[in-house]
Structure formats: C-alpha cells, structure tokens
Amino acid sequence: YLLAYQALSKKKNGVAITLIWSEVIIHAGLGVTLIGWDSGFHYYLLIFIPALSVTMPFGVAVAALLGLWSYYVGLYVLMWFMEPIEPIAPSALLGVYLFNLSVVFAMFSYLSFFYLMLVTTANQKLRWMATTDSLTGLFNRRHITNLTNRELARFQRGGHALAFVVFDIDYFKPINDQHGHEMGDRVLVDVAAVIKAELRAQDLLARWGGEEFLAVLVDTDLRSGQTTAERVRKALKTQQWIAQNGEFISITVSAGISEFRAGDDLNSAINRADQARYRGKVEGRNRVILEQFYEL
C-alpha cells in the first residue's frame, strides 16, 4: 500500500491499481485457505465489482468481472475439498468474520455515497452548463427563453406587465482589438455584474450574445423599464477599467426597451427592443430608447 501510494503521487495510476488489486486478491486467497471460508476474507473481492463497472470499458469490465467471479467461486469450491491450513477457535473465527464483514460493509457504504455524490455533482455541472453562460455566470440565451415563456403564460392569465431591455456595450470591438480578449472578457464580466446589481431579484438577466445582454423585467411597464435601464446606464458610466498598459477605459451602453402586448410573441417583443437599441446606436450611443410599436 505504501508503494501504491508512492505510485499514485507520481501519477503512475496503473502501477498503483495493479499493486492494490494484487494485494486484495492474494490477501483474500490466503485468508480463506489459512483459516477457512467462514473468516469472510472473500467479501473483499466483492468491492471490485462497482470499481470495475465504472472505471473500465464495457468489454474489458465484463471480462474482468468474469475473472473475478471465477476466482471467487473457485475459492468457494476449493474449500469443499480441503480443510483450513491454520484453523482457529470458533469464537476467534467469528470475531474475524465480524471484523471483515464490518470493514467491507463500511467500504461499500463509502463507495455508494462516493458514486452518488459523483453523479449528483456531474448532473449539477451539466445542468449549470446547459443554463448558464460560462463567462459571465448569467443565464444563457436558451434558458432565459424558457423562463420567459413561463412569464408570458402569467401575462396571458392575468395581464401582468412585462418589459424587455436589450443592453449593448458601445465600442466593444476596439476594446478587444486594442487591449486583447482577456480585457474584453473582464469588461463583459463586470458589466454583467453591474446590470445584475441594478435589477430586482425577480427580474431575469442573460447574456444574449456577444456584448449584448437581455433583461426581462417582471411586472414592469415601458416607463418603469426605462427608469431601470437609465439606472444601469448611469451606473456603468461611472465605472472605469484599467488596461494592462495603464490606460483607463470607460464603458457606456445603448439600451432598447419594449413591452409585451396582447397578440405578441416573444420574438416580436424582443425584436422591438433590439430595433430600439439599434436606433440608440445610430443616434450616438450611450442612451436608452423606447420601442416604436407602430413599426410592427
């Protein structure tokens, strides 16, 4: 086991696994033949079953399990035809059996909890990856679309107001070109944090694409949405970033706002906000523009 530990520390996993397997197999065989089947040493062989199933390709795992089963049954049959080499008193044999059973039980329990935590963690990570933008930590486009569709169902039932705000960082490409993508990523992360801090807990926020963010403001009409967007714009205007060359970078955003209306669908409402954002770009940037509903 010391050699196996040293091998693991040197990243020689194959050597370590071979040493551990050899020890357990030989230990089980010696324990059974020396003091008898009732000693419970054969239980240690069963610990390999989940390890083989999880860590090996299917074909190799099946072959290894068949080999393990043959060895286990072979030991059992062998003890039909021979007496233990060094038999011990029945009370001592019972003590050894209970000890081995307890150790194996504890190891199986640990393995069960370990694999359960492994699967749970993997599922949580997959769920996070499926719903979250990896850079900013905000919702991704697909997930906010799903969440917003639920809010639209509320609108259909009770007519609750729902506003959409598309934020777009002004002159973002020059930041990447002049200061590198690492600086651009930092700006995206910080802008996302500022926008999120200005929204309420019930509002939804996602990275919509590139340097664009979509906020879905629950129970908010067009004018209230404008107030929120202005608050975000002013908060960002006071921020400054320092590039690696010591240059100060100021960030502004253009924002377009729309309100969901009867007969709307999600795409049309967001498109109106996006058109308003585009007008803000054309008119000079760093401004909040309301939708023009008559354009539909």
pLDDT of 15-71, one tens digit each? 888 888 889 899 999 999 999 999 999 999 998 888 777 777 888 889 989 999 999
| Other Cβ atoms closer than 10 A to 203 | 18
- Asked if 68 and 115 touch (Cβ cutoff 8 Å), the reply is no
Q: For residue 131, give the nearest of 142, 118, 116 by alpha carbon.
A: 142
Per the annotation, the verdict on 86 as an active-site residue is: no
- Asked if 40 and 105 touch (Cβ cutoff 8 Å), the reply is no
Residues in the chain: 296
The pLDDT of residue 293 is 56
Quote the DSSP letter at residue 38: G
Question: What is the three-class DSSP state of 116?
Answer: helix
Q: How far apart are CA 262 and CA 156, in angstroms?
A: 8
E-state strands within the chain? 162-169, 204-209, 212-218, 240-242, 248-250, 253-259, 288-290
The pLDDT of residue 271 is 94
Find the catalytic residue in 23, 83, 182, 211: 211
pTM of the predicted protein model: 0.69
Record the tokens describing residue 1, joined without a space: 């086991």
Question: What is the three-class DSSP state of 107?
Answer: helix
Tens-of-pLDDT digits for all 296 residues of the chain? 888 888 888 888 888 888 888 898 999 999 999 999 999 999 999 988 887 777 778 888 899 899 999 999 999 999 999 999 999 999 999 999 999 999 999 988 988 898 889 889 999 999 888 999 999 999 999 999 999 988 888 777 777 889 999 999 999 999 989 889 999 999 999 999 999 999 999 999 999 999 999 999 999 999 999 999 999 999 998 888 888 888 888 899 999 999 998 888 899 999 999 999 999 999 999 999 999 854 43
Q: How far apart are CA 289 and CA 231, in angstroms?
A: 13
180 vs 133, 172, 194, 210, 217, CA distance in Å? 20, 11, 22, 15, 33
